[in-house]
Structure 1
Amino acid sequence: MVTRQFFILLLLAIGVAHPAFALSKIEASVDRNPVMEGEYFVLNISVDDEVDTGKLDTSALLKDFIVGRTSVSRSTQIMNFDAVKETRWQVLLAPKQQGQLTIPAFSIDGVSSSPIPLKVVETGSQPAQMNNLFIDAKVSTDEAYVGQLITYKVKLYLAVELQRGVLSAPVIEGAQIKQIGEDRDGSEIVDGRRYRVIERTYGIIPDLPGQVNIKGATFAGDVLVESQRRGGMFGFNESRPMQAGAPSLTVQVNPAPTSFQGQWLVADLVALKENFPEDIKKFTVGSPITRTITLLASNADENSLPDIVQTLPDELKSYPEKPQRQTFVRDAQIVSQYSITSAIVPSKAGTFTLPEIKVPWWNPRLKRQETATLPARTIIVEGGAVSDTPAQPTWETNSAADKGWSWLTTVFAALWLVTLVAWIITLVAWRRALKNQTAAPIAVNSSISSAQSVTASGLKGLEQACASGDVSRIMLQLQRSFSELQQTPMTLDKIAEQSPQLAAAIQQLQIKAYSAKADKSHHTDSANTSSANSNNTNSHLSAECTALLNAVKACEHKHSNPKSAPLSPLNPK
């Protein structure tokens, strides 16, 4: 009985000595001070009791801060046989403006925290060693010309682990901006602290003269930082959103000088070069010559490079391909390139000069106009002359001239009719081939007998047509072969679009046929002339047929052996 009474008195004494636990203290702190404008920091609020999380009112923060994610945690610890409880809030804040701000006091159940004075400084003004994340940027020059490529390099420094984020381009009015190349990922040591560095390069091309203000690139994302929660045996990291921005920069843009002559191009260095078959000393009439001209410019925009126009002698016909433009980085320099490839076909033998090519440009460092020059080149062409116009007879009477014009009109009409008939026949043959999978012989005109009609398909049939020496038959078989290859009716014009070499070969055959008809019409002895002309045609078509067959083989090889394009990397660095 005495023991029971003693135990009850002991419990009452403990209750008097330790009253019921109640909230008695609120503490508020920030993880760093000062902070930069727009940069997220953490506001920690803790109370020494377990309370309802809805009792904390943070609406007063909205006046001066952007309020981000808020997390709440509770903990209970036993210390010296006493239960210590705590409720903790972590609020992500970003100041809206620079200057001296105040984080107000917070009250719960009549207990208040102390207000916190906070200094907010300009973005990018904090020393690097005080930041877990910051951005630096610079431009290649603070004075430029309209149309000049200004290099803007931005570096994102990270001393914490990056989870995700977006690095946005600088903002600028009155100029074009584009990213050049891929991001570079490396590391640097700044004031004894190692940072991961992500570097990106932009090209800025001002459109108007005057002072250009560049608002710096910005970053927004999530990083992993060490948790500041107390208690527990093990530390851990937590995700936290962060923002940073590069300082603003100014560039003075000058107009193009009025003394400049030519199409405006400003670059640090400009060069012209060509790719030409140097190993060939003499060329042949009708054989295409491949020439590639390349214009290179350092620190220039590819779209500002002028088109290169080749002025050639009348005896040289040029068949250019579509020009190519690209920009790449080489030895820390941005290089823009313009290249154009042409097939040059000589129609006559002789010695010809490819004129020099000049490209004027402005040197911004020396502030003067300079010229990039591709020297003139002399070529020697051998072989019989191929006339691209019929020989004009010299008659003394007007009636003879009238007959000449009549003959010329007749020839053009005949060629047009032959082409039309050949196209119609090819269309019919192609449809029959799809239906019957076999090609029936087609008669072109009375000069081709049924025994000579085209019976083979593809390259073999074209070789047989070339062996016959009949240009009409060659053209018909050419259309038939490409119609089968493309699975659609093909005209000579469409076939010529397949490649410059093929276009040149077709033109030379047409010129040959036209010249042969012109020579034949001026002979009085039609029977002897017909035989002689036939033999002459057979003996002089070998070069043209060889060029045609080579061009066709190249096209067939291109269609029969397509190369698979590589897949783009799924996760580019």
Structure 2
Amino acid sequence: MLIRSIFTLVTVLFFCSAQASYAASISTSVDRARISMDETVVLSIRVSPQANTTPNFSELETQFDILNRSQNSQYRNINGQVTAFTEWQLTLAPKSTGKLVIPSIQYEQEFSDAIILEVAETDDTQSGLTPDIFLDIQAEKSEPYVQEQVIITVKLHTAIPLRVDDAPALNIPNALLLPLKDSQYQKRIGDKVYSVSELRYALFPQMSGELEIPIQTFTVTMRANSNFSNPLNYGQTETKRIRSRPVMLSVKPQAKGYQGEQWLPASKLEISEQWSSDTQDWTLGEPITRKITLKATGLSANQIPSLSLAESQSFKQYREKPESSDTQDARGLSTTITESIAIVPTQEGATQLPEVKLYWWDTQSNTQKIALLPARNINIKANPQLPAPKTPILATQPSSDATEQTIPDTTPATLEGVHATVIWQILTALLVATNLSLAALVWHLWRRSRPKLHLPAPDASAPQSRLQELDKFFSQPLNRASAAYFLRAFNRHFPKQAIDAMADQSLATELKHAIQQLNAYTYGDKPHYEGDLPTLQSLVRQATQQPNKSSALPTPLLTGLYPD
């Protein structure tokens, strides 16, 4: 009995010692205890024996960026001596200088020791020599106006072979940032020749005050030792974080005394125009095309407002959607906007096309300037192909201060001619009445001879007559003549105030836009109709069902292009 108890105790102790010998252990180490802000450190975490799970490394990210991580497991049995472990290697980049703590890392119930790492400022001088790698940010202006273009350049200088692993895009709050074309070139600084990678941006501050261009950080990988004569160092790499210095801009508000409706700070702005006919003599009813081109340097298309064109009773203007394009060059962003306007003369006589002007602020001279198209004198002449306007005949009233009056001749011959004229007038009236009666009788007989169709009585409130008239347009080929007929019919059936009073305002807006597109094709210089006829037909049919709350007859939606 005693021997059995001793054997059981020995067995328990053996298993306990075996469990203790195979309990997991964790340890950490770094390859260096002191680094600078542009350098990285490799943290090794080893768990013995081999691990089944991965430790939590999230606490490291409070003071470090984890740039890279790798994992490997090993098992070795040499002369009965077993070695097994799992190791993680993390490449860490410090977020600040000073004494940083690599915290204790937990694996199961075990904890590693914390490590103190000293991080110093980057030494750019290196005993009077320029560094092999450095990052620089430059701003074209330090005191720009709000919404003025500022060229920002990020330059990476390197005198040794390397690989850029991470180069995040520039991000600046309270500013619009547009990337420009990148470039690469070589430059000698001191005793070294650098390869320069240049990233350019067009920055538009959106608020006045202090604006900071934050520190940019690039991650690069290079060889650990440039001395390739040592075969043991060949192929080894080192990861570095290259940081720039912050740049501050003092953004000025809009200049005092500026008269423009919209603030336009630019280094250059020009306006020009082209006409389909160079003559200043226009013909009534014949459209003239005017193209206005605006070119600006240092502005985007979204910053430039629509030009203000004065109206006139002598002509109508139909504007097309402007065409805009942005280009990039050494000066940054340049914008070209072209607008086409169809002008239709509607009234004879001399008139004047008002001037077109746009205020802008010259950032080169810090002065207000005006882009101007001068006024143009126009003479609108009659169109022989159009019918002459009807002129009312007014009865001539005798002057109150006349001293002489004309006495009609009442001789017998004159009276006889008067009687003859009256007789001919009576006979003509009787003949016209007879013809009208005969025509009415023929029409009545023809109506009675037609077969009767038993159709339900139409709804008096449904405007089927105007819908049938407008639908004829969609059943025939599209040309300018048929489009002009449709526009006149639409103008008669759909007055402007009636459309404005529609219950469905979105339908009214779409209908107006579609009619304007057809109008631009009919009387402008568009070779093709840019709209969609099935869509226009659907909008017209929907409009006929819309209630119109206006009781008074309003003015037409489309003013007549030609005088009556």
Give the TM-score category using the shorter length: 0.5 to 0.7
Aligned-partner Cα distance in 2 for 1:493–1:46: 72
Pick from 423, 441, 455 the counterpart of residue 467 of structure 2.
423
CA distance in 2 between partners of 1:58 and 1:125 (Å):
39
1:286-435 aligned at under 5 Å gives the runs: 286-384=285-383, 394=394, 421-427=465-471
Distance 1:274 1:380 in 2: 19
The residue that corresponds to 2:142 in the other structure is 142
Taking the aligned partners of 2:124 and 2:378, their CA distance within structure 1 comes to: 62
How has the CA–CA distance of structure 1 residues 167 and 350 changed in structure 2, closer, same or farther, with 3 Å as cutoff?
farther
How far residue 334 of structure 1 moved from its aligned partner, in angstroms, is 2.0
Contact 1:354-1:378 within 8 A present in 2 as well: yes
CA distance in 2, matches of 1:496, 1:123: 70
Deviation at 1:344, TM superposition (A): 0.9
1:159-174 correspondence runs (5 A)? 159-162=161-164, 165=166, 167-172=168-173
Residue of structure 2 in register with 1:201 after alignment: 201
**Alpha-carbon deviation of 1:123?**
11
Q: CA deviation at 1:199?
A: 1.4
Distance verdict in 2 for CA 1:210–1:31, change over 3 Å = same
Aligned to 1:412: none
Q: From the two aligned structures, give the one with the greater helix fraction.
A: 1
Counterparts in 2 of 1:124 and 1:75: CA distance versus 1, 3 Å = farther
Superposed, which structure 2 residues align to 1:214-229 within 5 Å? 214-218=213-217, 225-226=222-223
One of 477, 482, 487 as aligned partner of 1:458:
477
| Alpha-carbon distance, 1:309 to partner | 1.2
Q: Specify every segment of 5 or more residues in structure 2 that has no aligned partner in the other structure, as ranges.
A: 1-27, 76-83, 106-111, 398-462, 493-509, 534-564
Quote the Cα distance in structure 1 between the aligned partners of 2:124 and 2:466. Answer: 75
Report the Cα distance in structure 2 between the residues aligned to 1:382 and 1:295, rounded to whole angstroms.
31
What SS does the aligned partner of 1:498 have? helix
Pairing of 1:12-411 with structure 2 (within 5 A): 28-30=30-32, 33-36=35-38, 41-43=40-42, 52=49, 64-67=63-66, 69-72=68-71, 90-99=89-98, 101=100, 118-121=118-121, 129-131=131-133, 135-156=135-156, 159-162=161-164, 165=166, 167-172=168-173, 175-181=174-180, 183-189=181-187, 191=189, 192-195=192-195, 197-207=197-207, 209-218=208-217, 225-226=222-223, 244-263=242-261, 264-277=263-276, 282-384=281-383, 394=394
Q: 1:93: Cα distance to partner?
A: 0.8
Q: Aligned partners of 1:356 and 1:35: how far apart in 2?
A: 62
Q: C-alpha deviations, 1:1-48, integer Å up to 9, x for none?
A: xxxxxxxxxxxxxxxxxxxxxxxxx98534994233xx6x1426699x
Q: Specify whether residues 200 and 31 from structure 1 end up closer, same or farther in structure 2 by C-alpha distance, changes over 3 A only.
A: farther
Higher radius of gyration, 1 or 2: 2
What CA distance in whole angstroms lies between the structure 2 residues aligned with 1:154 and 1:297? Answer: 25
> How many residues are paired up?
407
C-alpha contact (below 8 Å) 1:211/1:253 kept by paired residues:
yes
Q: Give the distance between the partners of 2:511 and 2:202, measured in 1 at CA.
A: 47
1:123/1:245 contact within 8 Å kept: no
CA spacing shift, 1:68–1:201, aligned 2, 3 Å = closer
TM-score of the pair, normalised by structure 2: 0.55
Q: Distance in 2 between matches of 1:277 and 1:123?
A: 67
- Which residue identity lines up with residue 261 of structure 1 in the other structure? Q
User: Which range moved further: 154-163 or 119-128?
Assistant: 119-128
CA distance in 2 between partners of 1:364 and 1:498 (Å): 39
Instruction: Report the equivalent of 2:521.
Output: 502
Offset at residue 316 of structure 1 (A): 1.9
What is the aligned partner in structure 1 of residue 528 from structure 2?
554
Give the CA deviation at 1:297: 2.5
Change (3 A) 1:376 1:156: farther
Whole-Å separation in 1 of the counterparts to 2:530 and 2:338 = 26
- Please give the alpha-carbon distance, in whole angstroms, between the structure 2 residues aligned to 1:389 and 1:420: 33
Give 1:365 shift. Answer: 3.6
Q: Distance in 1 between matches of 2:70 and 2:334?
A: 50
216 and 96 in structure 1: CA distance in 2 versus 1, 3 angstrom threshold: closer
Deviations 1:231-255 (A, max 9, x none): 9999658796x75554322222223
Scaled by the length of structure 1, the TM-score of the pair is 0.54
Separation of aligned partners in 1, 2:289 and 2:135: 50
